[in-house]
Copies of this chain bind each other. A is one copy, B any other.
């Protein structure tokens, strides 16, 4: 991983991170933005060397921020997950798409008397409630079945003014009908997607359908396009900037996905680093059809330890 030879850079292609480039990069960056799944962990397993790498960066005075598209957890639940893996990360350092969905409604002055129908899980409901909204659906609709009988009417709440769709392991036809009716029949009802990731490492051994699957379902039944609040949308960056007061050119976005993490970083004006511990392989990065090139790439996050070491 230390050869800085013919590995791009000049031609707009990603450069392999190496001893020569890493110090200048780290010196130029005040905040490290990390994706979680595929960078920090895979499913429930911490990726090797991550704890020591984060510790080293903190000891160098770098701000650490965790920007995740996973909306099944609230920031609090994410903080608990970090702690369970032996990483001291506070809620304040976490920007999840569940939080982004709540903040989107808040910044758009979504009326408090309107309700929010959720296709998603507990953490999404939690963030919406924390922000003062009234969510419906989610886990409590996970076991509901529909009755397709003559003269039976599927009732939905006419005061739902937004449907928020995220990853939902308990997706069913009831929820799909509920969300579809709200978007098609409640005037002005918003359709918000936490993110559109096709798949994710819900377990360490394989990939599973991501929020893009549930969002695709509602897109298919409503023929409407959602507002996406997670990566690669830069909606979250406004909050990050307010909180950290660091110019985006002094931020490095580290991720495992080209079309969300790296694109998010580029859209926001950050430096970008792809790690190969997640969904993107080296061959995908180098494929001529790939048109998203990060500034740098490296095998795994802990390469920083080795490259900056003695």
Q: Is the CB of B216 within 8 A of A153?
A: no
- How many interface residues does A have (CB within 8 Å)? 46
Q: Which of B43, B148, B169, B205 contacts A146 (CB 8 A)?
A: B169
Q: In the complex, what residue of chain B is closest to A174 when comparing beta carbons? A: B169
Copies of this chain present: 2
Q: Give residues of chain A (179-208) contacting chain B, Cβ–Cβ below 8 Å.
A: 180-181, 184, 196, 198-199, 202-208
| Complex contacts, A150 vs chain B, CB 8 Å | 43-45, 203-204
Residues 151-194 of chain A: 1 if any B CB is under 8 Å from the residue's CB, otherwise 0? 11110000000000000111111001100110010000000000
Distance, CA A169 to CA B146, complexed state (A): 8
Known contacts A203-B149, A218-B216; A198/B173 CB under 8 A: no
Residues 201-234 of chain A: 1 if any B CB is under 8 Å from the residue's CB, otherwise 0? 0111111111011111111111100000000000
Q: Is the CB of A215 within 8 A of B209?
A: no
Known contacts A44-B150, A171-B176, A208-B154; A213/B220 CB under 8 A: yes
Distance, CA A152 to CA B176, complexed state (A): 28
Distance, CA A215 to CA B217, complexed state (A): 7
Q: Is the CB of B206 within 8 A of A221?
A: no
Q: Is the CB of A208 within 8 A of B169?
A: no
4 closest cross-chain pairs (CB), A and B: A216-B220, A209-B221, A212-B220, A217-B217
Interface, chain A (partner B; CB < 8 A): 43-45, 146, 148-154, 168-173, 176-177, 180-181, 184, 196, 198-199, 202-210, 212-223
Q: State the Cβ distance, A276 to closest chain B Cβ, in Å.
A: 19
- Highest count of chain B CB atoms <10 Å: which of A153, A154, A181, A221: A221
| Complex contacts, A207 vs chain B, CB 8 Å | 184
| Complex contacts, A214 vs chain B, CB 8 Å | 217, 220
- Highest count of chain B CB atoms <10 Å: which of A44, A148, A202, A208: A208
Q: State the Cβ distance, A292 to closest chain B Cβ, in Å.
A: 14
Distance, CA A49 to CA B147, complexed state (A): 28
Q: State the Cβ distance, A64 to closest chain B Cβ, in Å.
A: 25
Q: Is the CB of A221 within 8 A of B199?
A: yes
Other contacts beyond A154-B208, A168-B173, A177-B208: 11, CB < 8 A: A149-B203, A152-B205, A153-B206, A170-B173, A171-B171, A171-B172, A173-B208, A198-B220, A198-B222, A213-B220, A217-B217
Distance, CA A133 to CA B148, complexed state (A): 30
Q: State the Cβ distance, A257 to closest chain B Cβ, in Å.
A: 12
Show 29 A/B contacts (Cβ-Cβ < 8 Å), sorted by A: A148-B202, A148-B203, A149-B203, A150-B203, A150-B204, A151-B203, A151-B205, A152-B205, A153-B203, A154-B203, A170-B172, A171-B172, A172-B172, A176-B213, A177-B209, A180-B199, A184-B207, A198-B221, A198-B223, A209-B217, A209-B220, A209-B221, A212-B220, A212-B221, A213-B220, A214-B220, A216-B217, A216-B218, A216-B220
